[in-house]
C-alpha cells in the first residue's frame, strides 16, 4: 500500500480551511494586533526572554506551504497517534540536513531560532530508528514553521491500526464491528441453530460487552489513553 507522507497530510488538513496567502496575512494581522496592544511584552516573547513559544521570523521570507497551526498538527497527531514534543526529548540525533536548514534560516532571518518541536511516533522519543520525524520552530500565536522532514514515510497500515484510539466513539464502533465479525464466524452448533437477526444482535451485544471489558482492562493495565489526550504528553505510558 502507498506510504503516508505526513508533510502532505498536514498541508491537506490546512488547505481545507485557508489558502497560503490568507494564512500569511492572518499571521501578520495577529502579530500587528499584539504589537499595538503591548509592544514591549511582544518583544520579550519574540526574543524568548520569558520562555515564550515564538521566534523572530521575517514573515515576508517564510514559505507559506511550511506554516501550520497547532490545530492542524493536533489533528494529524490524533489520526496517526503521534506526539508533538520539544526537540530536547527526541532520543535520536538530528540529521545534518536539519542542522543546515536551521543555520540557513537563522542567516536569512537574522535571528537565533529556539523552542524547537518534533512531530513523530511516541517511540521516537525513547527509542532510535524513528519513523518520519518533522522538525518545527514556533512562529507565535499557535503557528509553527516546518523546517525539515527526514526518515521513512509512515505505513498506510498505521492509520488503520491506530484508528480505534482516536476517541471513545471510534473505540465503540471498533468493538461493535469486531463483535459482529466474531458472531458471524461462530458455528451454528454453538448458537442453538441458525442465527436469526434478533439472535445475531443479541450475541453481538454480549460479545461487545466482553470485548469492551477486555479493551478497558488492556488500556488501564498499559496506561494507555486516546490520541486526543496524549498528542503532547511527555510520559511513556500514554
Instruction: Report the pLDDT value the prediction gives residue 190, as an integer from 0 to 100.
Output: 67
3-state secondary structure of 170: helix
- Angle (deg, nearest 10), helices 197-222 and 168-185: 130
pTM of the model: 0.61
Residue 214: its pLDDT value, please? 85
Taking a C-beta distance cutoff of 8 angstroms, is the pair 116, 136 a contact? yes
Beta bridge partners of 30: none
Which residue has better confidence, 57 or 18? 57
Q: Span 65-89, mean pLDDT?
A: 89
Q: How far is C-alpha 94 from the chain's CA centre?
A: 19
| β-sheet with 134-140: strand ranges across | 67-69, 143-149, 134-140, 117-120, 83-86
* Res 235: pLDDT: 62
User: Running DSSP on this structure, what letter comes out for residue 163?
Assistant: G
42, pLDDT greater than 50: no
Phi-psi group of 36: left, alpha or beta (phi > 0 → left; psi -120 to 50 → alpha; rest → beta): alpha
Amino acid at each position: 500500500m502507498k506510504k503516508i507522507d505526513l508533510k502532505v497530510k498536514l498541508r491537506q488538513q490546512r488547505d481545507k480551511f485557508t489558502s497560503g496567502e490568507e494564512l500569511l496575512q492572518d499571521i501578520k494581522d495577529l502579530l500587528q494586533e499584539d504589537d499595538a496592544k503591548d509592544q514591549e511584552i511582544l518583544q520579550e516573547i519574540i526574543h524568548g526572554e520569558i520562555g515564550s513559544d515564538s521566534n523572530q521570523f521575517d514573515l515576508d521570507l517564510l514559505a507559506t506551504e511550511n506554516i501550520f497551526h497547532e490545530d492542524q498538527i493536533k489533528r494529524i497527531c490524533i489520526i496517526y497517534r503521534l506526539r508533538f514534543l520539544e526537540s530536547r526529548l527526541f532520543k535520536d540525533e538530528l540529521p545534518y540536513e536539519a542542522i543546515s536548514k536551521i543555520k540557513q534560516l537563522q542567516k536569512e532571518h537574522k535571528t537565533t531560532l529556539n523552542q524547537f518541536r518534533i512531530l513523530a511516533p511516541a517511540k521516537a522519543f525513547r527509542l532510535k530508528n524513528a519513523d518520519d520525524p518533522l522538525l518545527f520552530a514556533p512562529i507565535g500565536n499557535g503557528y509553527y514553521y516546518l523546517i525539515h522532514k527526514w526518515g521513512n514515510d509512515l505505513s498506510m497500515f498505521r492509520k488503520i491500526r491506530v484508528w480505534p484510539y482516536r476517541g471513545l466513539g471510534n473505540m465503540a464502533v471498533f468493538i461493535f464491528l469486531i463483535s459482529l465479525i466474531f458472531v458471524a464466524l461462530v458455528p451454528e452448533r454453538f448458537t442453538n441453530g441458525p442465527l436469526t437477526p434478533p439472535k445475531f444482535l443479541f450475541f453481538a451485544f454480549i460479545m461487545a460487552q466482553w470485548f469492551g471489558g477486555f479493551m478497558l482492562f488492556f488500556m488501564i493495565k498499559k496506561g494507555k489513553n486516546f490520541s486526543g489526550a496524549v498528542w503532547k504528553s511527555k510520559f511513556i505510558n500514554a
